[in-house]
Amino acid sequence: MCKLLRHNEKIIWNDVCNKSWEWMKASMTCLPVLVVLSWNVKFHVHTNASHFALGVMLGQNLDNAIDKPIY
């Protein structure tokens, strides 16, 4: 699917793209990705910027692995 984001790339949606899309939707909406706010743990702000957008995520590291977004 990363090839679809390239400049001047012809978009051809096939079964591989569809399978990747379904996997991404399932991964981003399942419970282990998001965490419940805990006031006893430090907050971390993650930012990302490009020429046309800005993204920000407020996260916490509850299991000493990686920061996860708070819902």
The model's pTM is: 0.49
CA distances (Å), origin 59, targets 23, 29, 70:
22, 16, 5
What integer pLDDT is reported at residue 1 of this predicted model? Answer: 66
Q: What is the mean pLDDT of the chain?
A: 86
Neighbours of 38 (CB within 10 A): 11
Query: What percentage of the chain has pLDDT greater than the value 70?
Result: 94
